[in-house]
Structure 1
Amino acid sequence: MSKQTLQKLPLETSGFFREVLEGLTTAVLWVNHEQKITFMNVAAGEIFQTSPSRVMGMHWEKMMPDLIESLDQAKEKKVTIHEYVIEQKDLFKVRVSCTISPYDLGTEKGWLFELFNTERHHRIVEEDERWHQYEAGNLLVRTLAHEVKNPLAGILGATQLLQRRYKPEDKANDFLEIISKEVQRLKNLVDRMLGPKQSSEKELHNVHELIRYVLQIVEGEKPNNVYVKLDYDPSIPEVMIDFEAMVQAILNLIKNAIQAMEQFGGMLTIKTRVEHKFTLGTQTYPLVALISITDEGEGIPPEVFDSIFYPMVSSKKEGSGLGLPVAQNVLRQHDGLIVAESEPGKTTFNVYLPLKQKER
C-alpha cells in the first residue's frame, strides 16, 4: 500500500487494512498532528502491556518518555532510535528500535511509529557468546582436572600402603591420615570441577515438584529473615529431566540466592512460566519452561558478572566458584540454559528447559 493510497483513505481505516495492521508482528502506532495516539495495533499493545482503548487520545510521550527531543526532527524524514528501553508493568525491560516517519492519513498530518523488539536478538547473541566463553573455560578446567586426578589417585594409594606398615598409635600414622584426608578432599574437589556425569535416565517430572523438593532441602538452613514467594504457572506440562541432576542445579541457584540475603534478609521469589517459540542456542523450541529465581541481595559485582559461569570464579569470600558452572553444565545436558541478570537489590537467574515429551 503506497503513501499516496494511504493519503486518500479516511482517518478511520477500512476493515481490511485494519486487519492487516493488527496481524503484523511489528508494533505500529499512529500519532496525529496534536501528537496524540489515535491507532495502536495488537503487537504494540503486547510491548506496552495495555489495550488500545486505554491509550487512545494519550500524548505519545506518556508511553515513550525521552524517546526523542521533539517530533519536529521527524517532520521531513524518518528518524530511527536504537536501543530504547521500555519498562513494562511487571518491571521487565524490553529493548526496541523505533522508527518515526512523517505520515499523513487523509488530510490529517501525523507520524507513524514502528517498534521492532530487539530483545530476543540481543539475548541470542549474548547467550551464544557467553556459552562459547563458558565452554572454553570449562574445557580448560576439565583438562586440568583429568591431569590432576591421576597423580592424586597414586598419592592416595601410596599413602594407604604406608598406613598398613604403621600401627594406629604410631606418630607417623597421624601424618599419613592427614595426607589421606587432604588427598581425598582434593579428589572430591576435582570431581566437582568435572561436574555431574551425563545421565540417560531422564523421565517426565513436574517442575513444581522439583522446586518443592529443593525447598525442603534448604528449609533447615534458610535464615528467618528470608521469605519465599512462589508464583507458579500451573499449566506447565511435565518436562523430561534427570531429576537428581536437576535437583543439584536448582539447589545451587537457590542456595546462592539465600546466601546473598543472609545479612539483610529479603524475598526469594521463584516464578515459573511457559515461553512460546523460544530459541536456545541454534534451535527454536515450540515450548520452553522458565524457572526464575530472584533474590533481593546486593547483586553480583559488575567486574565478575561476565565470568560467573567460569569454574573457580566467585563473588563470595568463601565461595568455591563451582556451583554455577555445575548448574550450567546440568542445563546444557538437558539442552537448556541459565541466564543471569543482576543489579543492586535484585538478581535473577532464569532457567530455560525445553518441554520435550521424550528424548530424541
Structure 2
Amino acid sequence: MYKIPPQVAQELLGGLMTAVMWFDADQKLQWMNLSASELFFCGLNKARGRPFSWFFPKTDIDWKACEHMRMTLHEQVLERDDGQQLEGRLVIASYDIQGENGWLVEVNETLRERRILEEEERWHQYEAGTQLVKTLAHEIKNPLAGIYGATQLLKPQLPDTRQAHKALSVIRDEVKRLQNLVDRMLGPRKLPELAPHNIHDVLGYVLEVLEGERPANISIRLDYDPSIPEFAMDFEQLVQAFINLVRNAFQAMHAHGGVLTLRTRVEHRFTLGQKLLPQVVVVEVIDEGEGIPPELADAIFYPMVTSKPDGTGLGLPVSQAVVRQHGGLITTESEPGHTCFSVILPLPREREAHDA
C-alpha cells in the first residue's frame, strides 16, 4: 500500500493529462481530476459516489490481489456519461490518503490514441506519395496546356463544318476536364487565409448548400457545444472539407436512410502526434450507413481510392489536406451502422485567439 498526502495528491494529480480517479475502500468514486471528467464526460459533483462498475462495466477486479500489487488491465471498456463506450488501459493500486484506504485508478484511452497514431502514420505515407503525384501532375499539365493552345491555333484552319467544330470542342472540353482533375489531385493550392469564425457557422452553411442533395429518408441531428468560441480558420476551405464529409454521409445512407449527427466538443490537453495541444475542437460527422469496406479502411485518404462506381476518390484527401493545413487531423472509425469522421482542430488559448 502506498501513502500520499492529500494536498500533494490534489495538486500533482489534478494537472495531469492522464485521467486519475480515487475510489474509497468500497470502490465508490470520491475524486477525479479534470482529465477524468473530460474522458467520462461527467463532472465530479455528478460522478461522486458512483461505483467502480459504473465507469468500467465489463471489468472484473480481484480487489484482494490489488492490496499487495499494482494491477494493469488492457483493453477495458469505459462507459461515458453520454452512453458512449471507449476502450482504455487501467492501472489500479491501493493507497492510503490521510489514514483513509482506497484505490487510485489511472485511465488511458487507448483506442483513440491508436487511431490518431495510425492516422498520423498514414498521413506521412500519404505526403510521401503526394510529392510523386505532384511531380507527375505538373508533367501532365504542361502537355495539356500545349494541346489546348494547339486547338486555338487549329480552329481557323479547320473546315467550317459542324463535325469539325464539334471534334475540336470535345478536345478542349476533355483537356479542361483533365486539368481540373489534376488540380484536384494536387489538393489545396494556397495557404489558409485565417480569420475568426464560429465552427457552427461553417457547419450551418454546409447544410444549407447540401440541403438539395439530402434524401428525404435522412434526418439531421445537431449536438453542438455552444461554448465553443470563434477561432482563426479559412472559412471557405473548411466549408469544402465538411461538404465532402457530409456528402459522403448522405451517400452512405441513401439506400436505407438514417440519421446524420453533427457533434461538436472542446477537449483539453490533447496530444496530436508528438504535440501537446492545450485545447482542440472535435467535430464528429456520424452516419448510420453500411460503413467503410474493410479493404479500403487504411487507404480512404489516398487520392483515387473509392468504393463508389462514379466516385473520384478525391473528396477525403482534399478534406484531410485542408484540416492538416489548419494544424489538425481527421480520424475515422467505422462499422456497419455507425461511421464517425472526427475532425480535430487546434483551439488557440484565449490570448492567442484575441491576438489573431
Distance of 1:242 and 1:23 partners within structure 2: 35
Q: Which residue of 1 aligns with 2:75?
A: 83
Secondary structure of the equivalent of 1:112? strand
Residue identity opposite 1:285 in structure 2:
L
AA matched with 2:14? G
Matched letter for residue 150 of structure 2: A
Q: 1:228-263: per-residue Cα shift (whole Å, max 9, x none)? A: 112222222212222222221111111111111111
| Number of corresponding residues | 346
1:112 paired with 2:112, answer: no
Decide which of 8, 11, 14 is 1:23's aligned counterpart.
14
Spell out the pairing of 1:165-180 with structure 2 (5 A cutoff).
165-180=157-172
Q: Shift of residue 29 of structure 1?
A: 4.0
Counterpart for residue 151 of structure 1: 143
The correspondence of residues 52-131 of structure 1 with structure 2, limited to 5 A, is: 56=49, 58=51, 60-61=52-53, 63-68=55-60, 70-71=62-63, 74=66, 76-101=68-93, 112-119=103-110, 121-131=113-123
Specify which of 203, 207, 227 is matched with residue 199 of structure 2.
207
Question: 2:215 aligns to what?
Answer: 223
Partner SS for 1:299? coil
Q: Which aligned pairs between 1:1-360 and structure 2 lie closer than 5 A?
A: 3=2, 16=7, 19=10, 23=14, 25=16, 26-30=19-23, 32=25, 36-43=26-33, 47-48=39-40, 49=42, 51=44, 56=49, 58=51, 60-61=52-53, 63-68=55-60, 70-71=62-63, 74=66, 76-101=68-93, 112-119=103-110, 121-199=113-191, 201-356=193-348, 357=353
State the distance in 2 between where 1:213 and 1:46 align.
29
Q: Is the contact made by 1:229 and 1:268 (CA closer than 8 Å) also made in structure 2? A: yes
CA contact (8 A) 1:127 1:281 kept: no
Deviation at 1:334, TM superposition (A): 1.7
1:16 Cα deviation after fit: 4.7
CA distance in 1, matches of 2:192, 2:131: 22
Deviation at residue 350 of structure 1 after TM alignment: 1.5
TM-score by length of 2: 0.83
1:242 & 1:19 partners in 2: Cα distance? 40
Q: Assess if the C-alpha contact under 8 Å between 2:264 and 2:282 holds in 1.
A: yes
Q: Is contact 1:297–1:345 with CA below 8 Å preserved after alignment?
A: yes
Letter in structure 1 aligned against 2:31: N
Cα distance in 2 for partners of 1:88, 1:331 equals: 27
Mean Cα deviation higher: 95-104 or 195-204 = 95-104
Residues 340, 350 of structure 1: 8 Å contact kept: yes
Shift of 1:70: 4.3
Q: CA RMSD in A?
A: 3.2
Quick check: 1:204–1:239 contact (8 Å CA) kept in 2?
A: yes
CA contact (8 A) 2:218 2:259 kept: yes
Find the aligned partners of 1:45 and 1:241 in 2 and give their Cα distance: 28
| Percentage of matched positions with identical amino acids | 46
Query: In structure 2, do the counterparts of structure 1 residues 160 and 87 end up closer, same or farther at CA, with 3 Å as the change threshold?
Result: farther
**3-state secondary structure, aligned to 2:89:** strand
Residue 18 (structure 1) shift: 7.2
Moved more, 224-233 or 200-209: 200-209
Alpha-carbon separation, structure 2, partners of 1:344 and 1:92: 17
**Superposed displacement of residue 146, structure 1:** 1.4
Note the residue ranges of structure 2 that are not aligned, 5 or more in a row. Answer: none
Deviates more, 1:14-23 or 1:144-153: 14-23
SS of alignment partner, residue 306 of structure 2: coil
**In 2: Cα distance, 1:355 partner to 1:257 partner:** 26
1:198/1:333 contact within 8 Å kept: no
Moved more, 166-175 or 179-188: 166-175
Q: CA 1:54–1:324 in 2, change beyond 3 Å: closer, same or farther? A: closer
> How many Å apart are 1:68 and its aligned residue?
3.8
> Of the two, which has the highest radius of gyration?
1
The structural deviation recorded for 1:53 is 7.6
For residues 169-211 of structure 1, what are the alpha-carbon distances to aligned partners after superposition, in whole Å with 9 as ceiling and x for unaligned? Answer: 2533332322222222111111111122114532222222222
| Gaps in structure 1 of 5+ consecutive residues | 7-13
Give TM-score, length-normalised by structure 1.
0.83
- How far off its partner does 1:264 sit? 0.8
Residues 88 and 57 of structure 1, relative CA distance in 2, 3 Å threshold: closer
- Find the aligned partners of 2:30 and 2:115 in 1 and give their Cα distance: 26
SS of aligned partner of 1:41: strand
For residues 70 and 16 of structure 1, do their structure 2 counterparts lie closer, same or farther at Cα, with a shift above 3 Å needed? closer
Following the alignment from structure 2 to structure 1, what is the Cα–Cα distance between the partners of residues 50 and 246? 46
Q: Secondary structure at the match of 1:224?
A: coil
